[in-house]
Structure 1
Amino acid sequence: MFQAPQDTCFSPRLTLRCPGGRVLDLRRPQVMGILNLTPDSFYQDSRVAAEDDLLRRAEQMLQAGAAVLDLGGYSTRPGAEDISPEEEKRRLLPAVAAVRRAFPEAFISVDTFRAEVAAEAVAAGADILNDVSGGQLDADMLPTAGRLGVPYILMHMRGTPQTMTQLTQYEGDLVLELVRYFRDKLAELRQHGVTDVVLDPGFGFAKTPAQGHELLRRLRELHVLGLPILAGLSRKSMVYKPLGLTPDAALAGTVSVNTLAVLNGARLLRVHDVAEATQTIQLVLNTFPNLSP
C-alpha cells in the first residue's frame, strides 16, 4: 500500500478547531446537512427560497442531529451555470448571517471555491470552508484559509463543474491518484498554516458511478493520510443511475451507501436527509461500537 512521506502527512486528528474556541468532534461520525441557496441544484427539494424557509430547514436539521450546516450559493452539479462572485455572495452572505444569529452554537460550513467569498462568509459567521476545487480554481484560496484560521475541507476534483464530466479517464489506479493528490495539497496547506483538514474524495466529481463505487469500496485506503474523511453521496448519480431512478427517489439507496461509508471509516456524512443519516450512524455504531476510523 502507498505510504505518505512523514514530512507531508498531518498528525492524526479527529477534532476540528473552529472560531470562538469551539471544537467539532469527529471521533464519532457526524452529519452535515445541505442547504442550497441556488435555484438549480440537482436535487430540487434541497433548494432554499427565502430566509424563513432557510431558518425552518436549519432548525429541522439541527433537531434531527446535524452537527454541521453546509450553505452554498454556487451550484456545483455537472454543467451548472457559472455565476459571478457578486451573485454568489448575494445568495450566501445574508444566509450565513441569518443562521449564525438564529443558531449561535451551530457549526456553519460554506461551500465555495472562491477566496473572496470565503473570507466574507467567515466574517459573516461561518466556521468551516468546504472547497470542491482544493484550491485549484482560485490561487488565493489556500493562503486565505491559512489567514482565516478555520478548518478546511479538501476535495478531489478535475476541471470545473462545467467540464468535469469529460475528465473521468484515469491512467493509473484511481485511489492512488487521490492519495498523491491529497499528499501534495496537504503539503501546500501546511505551508499556509492550515492544520485542521477533512478529506473529501469527491464522489461524482470527475468520476463515473462505477468509479464512485470503487472509491467507496476502497475508502479505508485514504486513511493512510491520517485525516477524517467526508463522504458526499446523498442522492448522487452513483446511487440513482444504477437503480434506474431519479434523485428524488434515491433516499433508500443513499442510506445504503452511507452505511457502507461509515463502515469504511467516513467521519462526516454530507446529506440532504439528516434524520435518516443520523439513524444510520446510530445503528452502525450500535452494531459495531468499537468502529475505528
Structure 2
Amino acid sequence: MRKTELLIPAGSLEVLKTAVIYGADAVYIGGEAFGLRAKAKNFTNEEIKEGIAFAHEHGVKVYITANILAHNDDLGGVEAYFGELKEIGPDALIISDPGVFAIARRVIPDMEIHISTQANNTNYGTYRFWYDLGAKRVVTARELSLKEIKEIREHIPEDMEIESFIHGAMCISYSGRCLLSNFMTGRDANQGACTHPCRWKYSIVEEKRPGEYMPIYENERGTFIFNSKDLCMVDHIPEMIDAGIDSFKIEGRMKTALYVATVARAYRRAIDDYQKDPKLYEANLDWYREEIAKCVNREFT
C-alpha cells in the first residue's frame, strides 16, 4: 500500500501551526504574491521561515503555492520571488503555468515541483509530460472520476505522485479556470482575486419588465444558481487509496483555524483507522461525518 499523505491548507501562521498539531503530513501555504488566494492573510517571507521551522520540527512538510496563470508583467517578479524561496527552503512549489514552471526549474533546479489542478490535468499523457520535464507530483483535475485516476496511476511511473482533493469547495468552472469574477467585478480569479460570485444569490429579470425580480426557489435557504455543493470524500477513503492517490488534499486557504483543526483531525483519524483496520474505519464513519459537520454550513456532494 502506498503511503497516504494528508495535505492541509493554511492561510496564516496560526492556521499552519493548527494544521500541524491536528494531524497534517504536509501543509500548503501562499506567499504575498503569485498564489490563487490574494484575499487570504498569506505569509511574509519571515512567516514562511517560521512556519517551515515549526512544521519541520514536527516532521511535516510545507509546500508554497505559486499557481497563478501569469501575465507578462508577472514574470520578473516570479523570478525574484523564487530566488528568495531558494534561500528559505520549502519542500515543494505548486505551479500551474508553464512559464512559471520554467523559471522555477532554472532558479531552483533542486526544488520539488507539484503541478496545480489549475493546469487541467485530466489524463495520463499530461502526467507523463510534466514528469518528463521534472515534476514530482501532479494534482488531478476535480472533474475526474476515481476510475480515471486509477487509469492514470496504471500509466505513469511508479515514483510519480498523484494528489487529489478529498474535501472542500468545488469551483463551478473547469478546474477552477473561471472568468465570472473578472467579468462582474474586475477581480481576476486566475490572478488570485476571486470574489466568488458563483456563491451569490441571483434572481431572474425578463428583458421587457426591468426592475421586476423573479426569485428562483430551491429550498428554504434560497438558491445559488451556479455553485456546487462542497466535496466530502470521507466515505470513500478506501476507493481513493485503491486508486493509487498519494496525497489527499483539503481545500480551504481562506478557512479558520477551527475549520482546519476539525477537518484535519477527522480525516487524520479516518485515514489512520482504515490503514490500521478497515472494520475500524467502517465502525467510525458516523463519527467522522459528525465531526466534519460541526464546522461547515454547506451541503456535501
Q: Tell whether 2:278 aligns with 1:287.
A: yes
Pair 1:257–1:76, CA change in 2 (3 A): farther
Equivalence map 1:92-131=2 (5 Å)? 92-105=44-57, 106-113=60-67, 114-131=78-95
Deviation string 1:16-73 (CA, Å, 9 cap, x unpaired) is: xxxxxxxxxx94201111112xxxxxxxxxxx3xxxxx23x22322222211121113
Per the alignment, residue 104 of structure 2 pairs with 141
Contact preservation (8 Å) 2:86, 2:108 = no
Q: CA deviation at 1:117?
A: 2.5
Q: Pick from 181, 187, 192: which aligns with 2:126?
A: 181
Partners of 2:266 and 2:62 lie apart in 1 by 20
SS of alignment partner, residue 218 of structure 1: helix
The separation in 1 between residues aligned to 2:156 and 2:85, in whole angstroms, is: 29
| Equivalences for residues 259-274 of structure 1 within 5 A | 260-271=239-250, 272=252, 273-274=263-264
Structure 1: gaps spanning 5 or more residues: 1-25, 37-47, 49-53, 82-87, 159-167, 169-173, 204-211
Deviations 1:219-243 (A, max 9, x none): 111112122211134312269x9xx
Q: Distance in 1 between the 2:29 and 2:161 partners?
A: 20
Q: Quick one: distance in 2 between partners of 1:137 and 1:257?
A: 34
Instruction: Look up the match of 2:146.
Output: 216
AA aligned opposite 1:200: V
- Please report how far the alpha carbon of residue 258 of structure 1 lies from its aligned counterpart in structure 2 after TM superposition: 5.4
- Alpha-carbon distance in 2 for matches of 1:238, 1:280: 25
1:28/1:139 CA distance change after superposition, 3 Å = closer
User: For the aligned residues, what is the CA RMSD?
Assistant: 3.8
Indicate conservation of the 8 Å contact 1:110/1:129, yes or no: yes
Deviations 1:118-172 (A, max 9, x none): 3322412312112133x344531233342xx1222123545xxxxxxxxx8xxxx
Task: In structure 1, give the amino acid aligned to 2:106.
Answer: P
Is the radius of gyration larger for structure 1 or structure 2? 2
2: CA distance, partners of 1:263 / 1:139: 33
Residue in structure 1 matching 2:167, options 216, 219, 234: 234
TM-score of the superposition, structure 1-length normalised?
0.56
Aligned equivalents of 1:92 and 1:267: distance in 2? 29
Q: Distance in 1 between matches of 2:166 and 2:79?
A: 25
Which stretch of structure 1 is more off in the superposition, 280-289 or 121-130? 280-289
Aligned to 2:3: 28
**SS state of the match for residue 45, structure 2?**
helix
CA distance in 2, matches of 1:257, 1:137: 34
Q: Deviations over 1:86-128 (max 9, x none)?
A: xx9x944222112134344332111114444333224123121
Structure 1 counterpart of 2:131, one-letter code: L
- 2:279 and 2:62 map into 1 onto residues whose CA distance is 29
- Return the alpha-carbon distance in structure 2 between the equivalents of residues 115 and 182 of structure 1: 25
| TM-score, L = length of structure 2 | 0.54
Q: What percentage of residue pairs aligned between the two structures are identical?
A: 11
Instruction: Quickly say closer, same or farther: Cα 1:139–1:258, change in 2 above 3 A.
Output: same
Equivalent pair of 2:20/2:55 in contact (CA under 8 Å): no
* CA distance in 1: counterparts of 2:271 and 2:112, whole angstroms: 23
For 1:108 and 1:150, the matched residues in 2 are separated by 12
8 Å CA contact retained: 2:170, 2:230: no
**What is the Cα deviation at residue 264 of structure 1?**
1.8
